[in-house]
Structure 1
Amino acid sequence: MSLSEDDLRAAVAREMPGVRADLERLVRIPGIAFDGFDHSHVERSAEAVAELLRGCGLDVQIVRGAGQPAVIGRKAAPPGAPTVLLYAHHDVQPAGDPALWHSDPFEPVERDGRLYGRGAADDKAGVMAHVAALRAYGDDLPVGVVVFVEGEEEYGSATLDELLETHRDLLRSDVIVIADSGNWDVGVPALTTSLRGLVTCFVEVRTLANAVHSGMFGGPVPDALTVLARLIATLHDDDGEVAVDGLVGREGASVDYPEDRFRHEAGIVDGVRLVGHGTITDRIWNKPAISVLGIDAPGTAVAPNALVASAKASLSIRVAPGDDPQSVYAAVRSHLEKYVPWGAQVSVTLEGDGAPCVIDASGPAYDAARAAFRAAWDGTEPVDMGMGGSIPFIATFHDLFPDAAILVTGVEDPHSAAHGPNESLHLGEFARVCLAEALLLRNVAALAR
């Protein structure tokens, strides 16, 4: 028997206190897949997710390739019903400097209607949105489900392709819900229909065999930090546009992002001008971007009075939809090799890459999602939005399951501060996300009927 919308609203509301309590338990597990962290916590996190899915009546297994554990839970579809794959990840970013947090990053705290803690939004709330929808249905689930929760997304999903290929038959589905994005604003739901790709690389310059006295040799000898600074500066023109030849960008974003809202949400300090040309949404969704993430060189507190022999920077290049990460890396490397000043030695090494994607969000499954969003947000029309960040494995899902509709959703809002200090989840929006997912499963089941 199909549950009515009113039934589902009541069921989700009934389950939310337990869902929140379980979310808080997940947030307390510092499951960080990065090198140098205690990976036993990632194992604990996977076990906790597996237990939650078993509690929903799913057949569950913990799987792994060469990396961190993922969890697969499955419940077969009723006769004639479709199967929906529900994706999220249980690992989290490192917390960073604890002094920048207003409370312990791994002890969830509510303030002003938001739940603060590392992973509260990205992406343990995504895990719990799936659990909330499953609990709301109980034994009356109208579709088959496969829940796939991986454990190294924040570290680059290095072994995800292997896991997807290995368990391809188990994961095969008609609709795929990727719960790792966000909504346009508090009170405004969204489907993410395009994402930039990513290239990360290191550039290292050398001018000396070893550090030498800055007084005896300074002047004619260029130090490596000055060389690196001048080289990095060539990546942008005076207006802040990326100045690397061969990178693709486009225009035409259909959504406006007012500058005052953008500045507030980004936390831009007074007096700083925005850089680049075009609309803000085009600049963050449809055009390439290059950022310097870090520099290896002597710290100011320990630096001797000597010329630096070598210096290294980590670069993050966001790849516009329609471009190719390998050609982007080749263009950036060629640029750096061409413009390195004063004959310094330069090496550019690729750390990782991921493809951008554009989703054709038309068809019955997308209509079903938009109808679920409108109902959960009391009639508010959902926005089709781009994402400046990257989820490279969406392209892998598309390649492995070309006939499946891929819906990129999420629980974050512009104030969630994912990856930063004081990450948080808007609890009211979270309840709407959980209801929307329950309604989506109902709507997808209705398509088959």
Structure 2
Amino acid sequence: MGSVDRSALTRTVRGLWDDDILPSLSELVAIPAISPGFDSQWAEHGHLVAAVAHVQAWIAARDLPGLTTEVFELPGHAPLLLVDVPATRGSTAQGTTVLYGHLDKQPPVADWSPGLGPWTPVVKDGRLYGRGAADDGYAGYAAVAALEALHAAGGAHGRCLVLLETSEESGSPDLPAYLAHLGDRLGDVSLVVCLDSGGNDYERMWLTTSLRGLVQVGLTVRVLDSGLHSGMASGIVPSSFRVARQLLDRIEDASTGEVLVREMHVDIPANRIAEVREAVGAVPGALTATVPFAGGTTAVEKDEVELALNGGWRPTLSITGAEGLPPLDDAGNVLRPFTTLLLSFRLPPTADAAVAFEAVEELLTTDVPYGASVELSRVEHAGGWNAPDLAPWLRETLDQAGEDIFGSPWRTVALGGSIPFMGLLHETYPDAQFLVTGAVGPDSNCHVPDESLHLDQAAKVTEAVALVLDAHARQV
């Protein structure tokens, strides 16, 4: 790091964000590149291909020696953009650095604030509003900007591959095929930088040290082949909703929210508990400060450490969808034939997702009350991720970045969501170092209305990534 001109690095990063990245990223926001899991006609619509082509054109025009870009489109899979940048002269970095992001987006959803919209980029109060700005269309721009700024500042970097996929918001179902296809191209990965994360404020850099896994199951309880007059059939035919409630009681304590599936619980590592205490102490109140509680609703716990552990290291169940329930205006006096509920479990990072699903399957399909018909659909399960310990060089660099760039020490977060790519790469490259970070904060509104990217935080994260790449390149 000693030969990096820090003022030139900062100046270049800021200039790139103001003059080059923001205009192009705004245009990316305007492309409705909805993830394949939410758009079955994604290939016909062409928006994912358009998003990839847009970012590829911007990257290909950068002034980076030896840079190449290539789009891969395996049959039946959403496209992937790979950017290959050779190491600078004199770099001693071993292996490949992979910088990861994604270009697919969550659905637009309704109720954006006046003047804002999912496909309408708006810059306001230091933020870029629009779907995909923060999650995580900026990632590819930031990764390439970090490399370009290093060149301008006399820094170094090893061989870098920027990998931008287009199925992450659907659980990255296409990624394993691409990793297998690109195995030889990736080489021996020694550092992974993921910019699809964030933290509890914009005053420091946040490292994600764990990600939860997931199990999703569509539960359909059917008691009739067709509906019947509720005045004639109720009390004779069991309610499908009541049977579904009974089955839910097998997997969740309704009074506390505790998941009762023992295969979903793990012992939380002591170092992660210590990190949670540090993070809560650094920004007290951050976990609930921006939650739009309705009326007098309160959090499930008063202890913030317990809340953080709930969100990062304990299993939870959310009902994220339903069918068989007509809108109120169409709801006649009918005993409905079926109830379908979409069950979304978040798992601790070290839980076995396949074993957890098997346990859920047995609990929901064995000894069903009244012999009702049960069908499971939309099944998905994926493991979480627990980061390896930081190497001394990486910890030292992050300490320096915290002091010089953010003015505050970095902290960690146990992220309640999932980034399947991390687990896949960790399994393949167990000796690699991982830097999972990003510009997302508690009010970035990813997946919901008014998504926005905090531009100053994005620039700071870009500069910090540049320092990490330089330090990685100068290991002896």
Q: TM class by shorter-chain length? A: over 0.9
Pair 1:400-2:428 in alignment = yes
The correspondence for 2:261, drawn from 213, 220, 244, is: 244
Provide the residue aligned with 1:81 in structure 2: 92
- Bigger CA drift: 344-353 or 53-62? 344-353
SS in 2 for 1:121: helix
Alignment of 1:279-290 (within 5 A): 279-290=306-317
Provide the residue aligned with 2:322 in structure 1: 295
Provide the residue aligned with 1:142 in structure 2: 156
> How many matched pairs?
448
SS in 1 for 2:178: helix
Distance verdict in 2 for CA 1:368–1:167, change over 3 Å: farther
Provide the residue aligned with 2:70 in structure 1: 61
Alignment of 1:308-387 (within 5 A): 308-338=336-366, 340-349=368-377, 351-367=379-395, 369-371=397-399, 373-375=401-403, 377-387=405-415
Distance verdict in 2 for CA 1:260–1:183, change over 3 Å: closer
- Unaligned stretches of 5+ in structure 2? none
- State whether residues 73 and 79 of structure 2, in contact with CA within 8 Å, keep that contact through their aligned partners in structure 1: yes
Deviations, residues 99-136 of structure 1 (Å, cap 9, x unaligned) = 56751211111232222110110001212211321332
Deviation above 6 Å: which 4+ runs of structure 1?
none
How far apart, in 1, do the equivalents of 2:182 and 2:375 lie?
39
SS in 1 for 2:82: strand
Provide the residue aligned with 2:291 in structure 1: 266
- For normalisation by structure 1, the TM-score amounts to 0.93
- State whether residues 197 and 390 of structure 1, in contact with CA within 8 Å, keep that contact through their aligned partners in structure 2: yes
How far apart, in 1, do the equivalents of 2:196 and 2:401 lie?
16
- For normalisation by structure 2, the TM-score amounts to 0.88
Deviations, residues 343-371 of structure 1 (Å, cap 9, x unaligned) = 32222345211111111232145325513
SS in 2 for 1:402: coil
SS in 1 for 2:461: helix
- State whether residues 388 and 434 of structure 2, in contact with CA within 8 Å, keep that contact through their aligned partners in structure 1: no
CA offset at residue 187 of structure 1? 0.7
Provide the residue aligned with 1:418 in structure 2: 446
Provide the residue aligned with 1:130 in structure 2: 143
- State whether residues 168 and 400 of structure 1, in contact with CA within 8 Å, keep that contact through their aligned partners in structure 2: no
Distance verdict in 2 for CA 1:331–1:273, change over 3 Å: farther
How far apart, in 2, do the equivalents of 1:375 and 1:393 lie?
30
Distance verdict in 2 for CA 1:414–1:443, change over 3 Å: same
How far apart, in 1, do the equivalents of 2:114 and 2:447 lie?
12
- State whether residues 312 and 348 of structure 2, in contact with CA within 8 Å, keep that contact through their aligned partners in structure 1: yes
CA offset at residue 27 of structure 1? 1.1
CA offset at residue 336 of structure 1? 2.1
Alignment of 1:161-200 (within 5 A): 161-172=176-187, 173-200=189-216
SS in 1 for 2:289: helix
Letter in 2 for 1:388: G
Letter in 2 for 1:164: L
Pair 1:33-2:39 in alignment = no
Deviations, residues 215-244 of structure 1 (Å, cap 9, x unaligned) = 121222122233224433443222221122
Pair 1:215-2:231 in alignment = yes
- State whether residues 218 and 376 of structure 2, in contact with CA within 8 Å, keep that contact through their aligned partners in structure 1: yes
Letter in 2 for 1:414: P
How far apart, in 1, do the equivalents of 2:112 and 2:390 lie?
46
CA offset at residue 188 of structure 1? 2.0
Distance verdict in 2 for CA 1:31–1:141, change over 3 Å: farther
Pair 1:307-2:316 in alignment = no
Distance verdict in 2 for CA 1:260–1:20, change over 3 Å: same
The correspondence for 1:48, drawn from 47, 54, 66, is: 54
How far apart, in 1, do the equivalents of 2:190 and 2:60 lie?
23
- State whether residues 200 and 286 of structure 2, in contact with CA within 8 Å, keep that contact through their aligned partners in structure 1: no
SS in 2 for 1:204: strand
Q: How much identity, in percent, do the aligned residues show?
A: 31
How far apart, in 2, do the equivalents of 1:332 and 1:363 lie?
38
Letter in 1 for 2:99: L
Distance verdict in 2 for CA 1:339–1:365, change over 3 Å: farther
Provide the residue aligned with 2:4 in structure 1: 3
Provide the residue aligned with 2:17 in structure 1: 16
- State whether residues 178 and 410 of structure 1, in contact with CA within 8 Å, keep that contact through their aligned partners in structure 2: yes
How far apart, in 2, do the equivalents of 1:399 and 1:368 lie?
26
Distance verdict in 2 for CA 1:31–1:365, change over 3 Å: farther
- State whether residues 117 and 450 of structure 2, in contact with CA within 8 Å, keep that contact through their aligned partners in structure 1: no
Letter in 2 for 1:294: G
SS in 2 for 1:60: strand
CA offset at residue 181 of structure 1? 0.9
- Bigger CA drift: 253-262 or 24-33? 253-262
- State whether residues 205 and 406 of structure 2, in contact with CA within 8 Å, keep that contact through their aligned partners in structure 1: no
Provide the residue aligned with 2:173 in structure 1: 158
How far apart, in 2, do the equivalents of 1:177 and 1:368 lie?
16
Provide the residue aligned with 1:430 in structure 2: 458
- State whether residues 82 and 161 of structure 2, in contact with CA within 8 Å, keep that contact through their aligned partners in structure 1: yes
How far apart, in 2, do the equivalents of 1:84 and 1:372 lie?
21
- State whether residues 368 and 444 of structure 1, in contact with CA within 8 Å, keep that contact through their aligned partners in structure 2: no
- State whether residues 206 and 310 of structure 1, in contact with CA within 8 Å, keep that contact through their aligned partners in structure 2: yes
